[in-house]
Amino acid sequence: MEVLENNIYPIFDRMLGREDKEALLGQRGVMVWFTGLSGSGKSTIAIALERELHKRGLLCRILDGDNIRSGINNNLGFSPEDRVENIRRIAEVGKLFVDTGVITIAAFISPNNELREMASAIIGKADFLEVYVSTPLAECERRDVKGLYAKARKGEIKEFTGVSAPFEAPERPDLSLDTSVLSVEQSVNRLLELIVPKVEIKH
């Protein structure tokens, strides 16, 4: 085996490529990136979507605050710098899944276009579907599933998106879903119409 300079082995010409992985799975990898306010319904829709895709024999992986903040990003806080690094790492992990042919579903507030554009650039625009869960702030605050809005209004949580920190709506999302109007089932059906044609391998 020929060794390159500095003793670096040329492993990339020996690794199986993305097409090999996708052929094995019988599907194409894609990133479905949910953005929206806390309480908008991102995680609820993501979980329902995963179940429906799984029923169709399609392999998925959900990335959300629960499995990312408690693991790979457990050393990050909520400073502006840490928020950027949080999204950067999520995108890099997501790219590994997408390149393995897995339908990857990310559910993160990701409150501005710059963050989401960074994620898209890392993953690759052709593999990045931006889904804006556009549920209005008033409805998200009415739900207040985790009691976070109440704490933010009392000043107990600083820089809380939608209350004391801005949320920048996507300019051209691939899909918008308002869960104050649409049921979970309706939202998932619209997502399936978007995603399934992109992940199917034509024979």
> Per-residue pLDDT tens for 56-92?
999 999 998 777 878 888 888 877 888 899 999 999 9
How does pLDDT run across 89-118, given as a tens digit for each residue?
999 999 999 999 999 999 999 999 999 999
Collect all residues with Cβ–Cβ distance below 8 Å to 33 and sequence separation of at least 6.
106, 108, 110, 116, 119, 120, 128, 129, 130, 131
Would you state the torsion angle of the CA atoms of residues 55, 39, 174, 21, taken in this order, to the nearest 10 degrees?
-40
The third-level CATH classification (topology) of the domain covering 16-197 is Rossmann fold (3.40.50)
CA distance 86 to 60: 21
- The total number of residues shown for the chain amounts to 203
Q: Which of 110, 120, 134, 187 is catalytic?
A: 110
Is 110 part of the annotated catalytic residue set? yes
Side-chain-side CA neighbours of residue 51 (13 Å): 10
The amino acid present at 27, given as its one-letter code, is: Q
Contact 57, 199 (CB under 8 A): no
CA distance 141 to 38: 8
| pLDDT for 66 | 73
The amino acid present at 129, given as its one-letter code, is: L
Would you state the torsion angle of the CA atoms of residues 71, 158, 45, 51, taken in this order, to the nearest 10 degrees?
10
| 39 burial level (CB within 10 Å; 0-12, 13-18, 19+) | buried
Strand ranges in 122-193 using DSSP code E only, listed in sequence order = 128-133, 175-177
pLDDT, mean of residues 158-168: 88
Tell me what percent of the chain is helix, strand and coil, each rounded to the nearest 5: 45, 15, 40
Annotated domain spans of the chain: 16-197
The amino acid present at 114, given as its one-letter code, is: E
Binding residue ranges: 36-43
| pLDDT for 11 | 63
Binding residue ranges for ATP: 36-43
Q: pTM for the full model?
A: 0.89
Residue 8 pLDDT greater than 80, yes or no:
no
pLDDT, mean of residues 146-164: 87
Residue 1 pLDDT greater than 60, yes or no:
no
**Average pLDDT over all residues of the chain:** 91
> For 104-118, 119-133, 153-167, which range has the lowest pLDDT when averaged over its residues?
153-167
Least Cα distance to 139 among 11, 50, 36 occurs for 36
